[in-house]
Amino acid sequence: MKSVSHRQASQLLHNKFVVVLGDSIQRSVYKDLVMLLQKENYLTLRQLKSKGEMSFEQDCLVEGGCLSPMHNGTEYREVRQFQSAHHLVRFYFVTRVYSRYMQSILDDFRNGLKPDVVIVNSCVWDISRYHSRWIDDYKENLYRFFEKLSGILPKETLIIWNLTMPLAERIKGGFLVPEIEHKAPQLRYDVIEANFYSGTLADAYGMDVLDLHFQFRFSLHHRTKDGVHWNAIAHRRITSLLLQHAAQAWGVIMPCAVAVESHQTQRNYNHREEFYSDSLPSGYLNFEESNPPQQAYRHGAAGVNRPALPRQCPPPVYRHKYRHRQVGHGFNYIPHHHYVPYNEHHHLNVMRSRHSRHHYAPYTHHRPNQYTRRESYY
């Protein structure tokens, strides 16, 4: 697997606002991205299974979670945010692709800061917790969500719809309450059908579709024993796939991926059993179970750690037409990378559609200048 390094991720998402929407797997997507923006480390088992904690790796809990009663109902809420000097990442936990709560999130986008990247998935809860005959309801909600999302966000926003990952025949999870346990054996087939509907409709609306079901069909050994969630190695691969596609959409070359993977493998060698094992310690099989009470506190904005990387790995290379410009509030930071055409097509089976995006960085409008013209971020 070609992996993206901390330095590459930090530079690629420099002054970008990223929003992640979805269930507990999407929460882990958010967490791995936050981790990679700060250091090369992988998520631990405890970090993967935790939900609603007050702080994770310098982020903060904005709403819901342990600030409210913890439960596994469809009304569970959790909003998290990580903010550093040049990165903003937000996560919303959702149990339905379109609802009054989702409409409130879309209203936040309409009236507030517009995301540069939206990574979204909603499926397993939709097809299991609301209606026994879920197909028509799910299709209608998908249509409403894509219609409203495309009407609110600017065309430059990169929207990536993740297809749901493979489920096991025997599954456990917070969403699988006793009332719907009889649906468990059929859910893995329903997910395939739902993926077809959602992927086809997202593609029709001009959004990008990342087929995680296809990507992980032969990686089931990285799925945990609850049959639903995935380990840290799998989530780093998801992050790499997402960032590689964003780079291609924005015209950015991220070289030396193989060397980066070798470097990370060496750094995590002593912990390989923890990350490659399917088994979880006793009490960790359910990723959705409540956490013990934690002290109520919040971290402020955090800086970004910068671990040393192999000298032979150059920073990302930008195409000339995506050059950063001076934007609002005296922001005059200009990357010093050289610009060359980007003609590679190295993962054609990852996305169902791929659209070039003009450079769009609304986050920079809200950030004061902290660097002179000749200074660089690294």
DSSP structure string for 275-292 = HH-----TT-S-TTSPPP
Please report which confidence band the pLDDT of residue 253 belongs to, taking 50, 70 and 90 as the band edges.
confident
Residues 6+ apart with CB under 8 A from 274: 44, 45, 232
Please report which confidence band the pLDDT of residue 3 belongs to, taking 50, 70 and 90 as the band edges.
confident
pLDDT at 61 over 80: yes
Q: Within a 13 Å sphere around the CA of 294, how many CA atoms are in the beta-carbon half?
A: 19
pLDDT value at position 258? 46
pLDDT at 370 over 70: no
Q: How far apart are CA 289 and CA 348, in angstroms?
A: 38
Overall average pLDDT of the 18-30 stretch: 97
Q: How many CB atoms lie within 10 A of CB 143?
A: 16
Q: How far apart are CA 302 and CA 325, in angstroms?
A: 26
List 78's β-bridge partners, or say none.
64
Enumerate the domain spans of the chain. Answer: 6-366
Q: The tokens of 230 are what?
A: 């995935």
pLDDT at 105 over 70: yes
pLDDT value at position 174? 66
pLDDT at 206 over 70: yes
Q: Which residue has better confidence, 289 or 354?
A: 354
Whole-number mean pLDDT of the chain?
76
Place of tokens 């923006």: 37
Q: Which residue has better confidence, 94 or 273?
A: 94
Q: The tokens of 272 are what?
A: 């390989």
DSSP line for 64-75:
EGGGS----STT
Residue whose C-alpha is closest to residue 201's, from 238, 248, 147: 147
Cα→Cα distances 248→117, 187, 241, 341, 347, Å: 13, 34, 11, 11, 10
Place of tokens 């015209």: 251
Q: How far apart are CA 207 and CA 162, in angstroms?
A: 11
Overall average pLDDT of the 337-358 stretch: 43
Q: Which residue has better confidence, 188 or 343?
A: 188
Q: How far apart are CA 93 and CA 75, in angstroms?
A: 10
Share of the chain above pLDDT 70, in %: 65
Contact yes or no for 92/64 (Cβ under 8 A)? no
Overall average pLDDT of the 108-126 stretch: 96
Q: How far apart are CA 29 and CA 11, in angstroms?
A: 19
Which CATH number is 6-366 given? Answer: 3.40.50.1110
Overall average pLDDT of the 87-108 stretch: 97
Q: How many CB atoms lie within 10 A of CB 178?
A: 6
Q: How far apart are CA 19 and CA 153, in angstroms?
A: 12
Q: Which residue has better confidence, 34 or 272?
A: 34
Q: How far apart are CA 88 and CA 300, in angstroms?
A: 13
Q: How far apart are CA 331 and CA 369, in angstroms?
A: 5
pLDDT value at position 44? 96
Lowest mean pLDDT across 13-17, 144-148, 191-195, 224-228: 224-228
